[in-house]
């Protein structure tokens, strides 16, 4: 299943500048997702993060990987409108920098779900090079909009 950015915005609550997934190229809901982030020099973070040697901030790469997992979690209709909040991040390691012009391929596998809590394991690659990996714990919570209705 392939999702473009318009499809992703129907699933994730994130918007510019925090929507960090351009496309989903593989998806098995509640199991895994594979997403793409095209890192272009036009992104504002490249202008100020190590000028002269621009790299994507690790925290944004970690967020992008988590968002790919969020698509797998929120794709089922019964989960739409829920917001996946971090409850923890373990074993997050940055192995190689992401630079302008790179196409980052991220895979997020849902390892465990119990009720509204769970764990996702994610990796990002540029070509064959591992850029980052980590484990994310989350809680699926109702959005503020749903609480106010």
pTM for this predicted structure = 0.94
Active-site residue flag, 96: no
Domains of the chain: residue spans and CATH: 5-148 (3.10.129.10)
Per-residue pLDDT of the chain (149 residues; tens, 9 = 90+): 899 999 999 999 999 999 999 999 999 999 999 999 999 999 989 988 888 999 999 999 999 999 999 999 999 999 999 999 999 999 999 999 999 999 999 999 999 999 999 999 999 999 999 999 999 999 999 988 655 44
Among residues 14, 49, 96, 125, the one annotated as catalytic is: 49
Edge-to-edge strand list for the sheet holding 117-126:
23-28, 32-38, 103-114, 117-126, 129-142, 82-94
CA atoms of 24 and 22, how far apart (whole Å):
7
As to burial, measured by CB atoms within 10 angstroms (0-12 exposed, 13-18 middle, 19+ buried), residue 15 is exposed
């Amino acid at each position: 299943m392939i999702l473009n950015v318009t499809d992703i915005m129907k699933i994730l609550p994130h918007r510019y500048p925090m929507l960090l997934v351009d496309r989903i190229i593989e998806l098995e809901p509640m199991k895994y997702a594979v997403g793409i982030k095209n890192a272009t020099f036009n992104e504002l973070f490249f202008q100020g993060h190590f000028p002269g040697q621009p790299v994507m901030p690790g925290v944004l790469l970690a967020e992008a990987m988590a968002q790919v997992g969020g698509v797998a979690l929120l794709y089922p209709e019964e989960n739409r409108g829920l917001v996946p909040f971090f409850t923890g991040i373990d074993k997050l390691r940055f192995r190689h920098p992401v630079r302008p012009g790179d196409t980052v391929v991220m895979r997020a596998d849902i390892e465990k779900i119990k009720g509204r809590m769970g764990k996702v394991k994610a990796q990002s690659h540029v070509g064959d090079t591992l850029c980052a990996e980590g484990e994310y714990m989350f809680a699926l919570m109702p959005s503020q909009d749903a609480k106010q209705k």
